[in-house]
Amino acid sequence: MGRARRARRIAATAAYGGGGVAAAGAAIGALGYGVIKAEAALARRVIGTPFDDSPDDNGVYGAGRGTPYEVVVLGDSSAAGMGVEHAHETVGAIVASGVAALTGRPVRLTNRAVVGAESSDLERQLANALEDVLRPDVVLVMIGANDVTHRIDRSAAVRHLEQTVRRIRALGSEVVVGTCPDLGTIQPIQQPLRALMQRWSRDLAAAQTVAVVEAGGRTVSLGDLIGPEFAAAPHEMFSKDRFHPSATGYARAAAALLPSVCAALGVWGADTGDRAPEPRRGERIGPVAVAAGQAVREGGTEVSPTQVAGQSRGPRGRWAVLLRRRPDVVPPAAGPAAAPGEDRAVVDDPGSASH
């Protein structure tokens, strides 16, 4: 079964409330599962817990004028910034600084991500955020790694994510989801667990894309984008625990997410509108499951809902457009952007990771 079909099946099961506890061992046999369980225990001992907590990146970014954009971050340790020491090094802070620099308007960042969170925790995180922000302009979600490592049923995980996205869209807010990273790049995890985690994380990422687009949000693929770079330069891209990204690793992820966040806000210049996809750039319109499968293979791509001949659905499901946001149409910065209490954050070229 191809990844597009698996993603469609997982998302459909989530939508109709099916599923159950994931039984990874049933697919590989009792002996194979025993090997995997032993490898996972070894990886946990090697990784350890060298960090006490993630930095507090909540605050207002940028020195521009006007009403601040309200940006909310939800998710797991990657969204919280586990692995870095300074607030301006988190994905949320880099994205907030980038939006402020591109628009000349301040950005208020409200981060309610929790280290160790699974997709089932997203609704609680959103409720906590809405106590402080009645209507966010955009919500950035990064989730999925713990669903894989904890062997959560994929349909259940996707269902929680989809419900959260639908609630956010009902508020009138935009949603950008950074899909599950490729866990096959983590060095302390040995074979055969590494290969299985790569497949599980990519299948989950594709299913997340199907569900999010069905709910009216957009996704950005992170797995294949950071995978080769993390594998080639692990000491630079990973933090000292060899599991969470370093400041450089988070900057690469933020560089992929920033264009889509700006496009959701309507501030990505000529590339913001519903332009026709450019096939020479690998962009196209098609069924969402097909787009999801392609996005997993081609990191840095955005998948969002679209219409064909005025119709949102075709014979193979929801229509979706796969785009690579263009770095050459970024509007010039209208003002400085500085993190609260820190020097100005440097944002990676938002297009460098898309080519």
77 part of the active site:
yes
Query: Residue 144: CB partners within 8 Å, gap ≥ 6?
Result: 76, 119, 157, 179, 180, 181, 201, 204, 205, 208
Residue 262 to residue 343: CA distance in whole angstroms:
22
DSSP 56-92: ---EEE----SSPEEEEEEESHHHHTTT-SSGGGSHH
- What is the rounded distance in angstroms from the CA atom of residue 287 to the CA atom of residue 46? 42
Give the HSE-up count for residue 316: Cα atoms under 13 Å, Cβ half-sphere. Answer: 15
Of 120, 244, 304, 348, catalytic: 244
- Examine the residue annotation and report whether 241 is marked as an active-site residue of this protein: yes
Whole-angstrom distance, CA of residue 248 vs CA of residue 239: 9
Q: Is the dihedral of CA 97, 103, 109, 113 positive or negative?
A: negative
Structure tokens, 235: 């000491």
- 8-state DSSP, 36: H
Catalytic one of 77, 119, 120, 260: 77
Q: 127-161 in b/e burial notation, b at 16+ Cβ within 10 A?
A: eebbeebeebbbbbbbbbbbbbbeebbbbbbbbbb
User: CB of 144 within 8 A of CB of 131?
Assistant: no
Which residues are marked as active site? 77, 241, 244
